[in-house]
Structure 1
């Protein structure tokens, strides 16, 4: 399974545990085949349909990946 498929749909929280959203898409570097950024949508029915607010976060801001993805710091709204 590709890493992008494993990340899609995971919940994203900041390092304080505040829910940010869900991974909607993963942008890969085609040359290195490494993750460059994550597209995060806020929760709710709109995000399930691909609508709603989206945030693009550099993968360098990811602190850990497990059941949830934890970002360093918080995202400003």
Structure 2
């Protein structure tokens, strides 16, 4: 899969809720590895270029297909 194939894919949490869309990738050029997904807010403001961006670590990604599925977060007390 190429970076251009990921751009614009929905990012969903383990409950199936859309939390954003893939905007770009964070890459460690020394090790030639993708370290994170730069996600843009999935609301209308995000589509207009005014949404908040955040980096999601690849450790949080469970699967990539038609959508990017995030792992379930375990609550710690």
Aligned-CA RMSD value: 1.7
State the partner residue of 1:35. Answer: 34
- TM-score, normalising length: structure 1: 0.80
Q: Is structure 2 residue 25 aligned with structure 1 residue 55?
A: no
State the partner residue of 1:7. Answer: 6
Stretches of 4+ moved more than 3 A in 1? none
- TM-score, normalising length: structure 2: 0.80
What is the aligned residue count?
73
Tell me the distance in 2 between the aligned counterparts of 1:6 and 1:13.
17
- Which structure has the larger Rg over C-alpha atoms? 2
Residue 4 of structure 1: how far off its partner (Å): 1.8
Consecutive unaligned residues of structure 1, counting only runs of 5 or more, are none
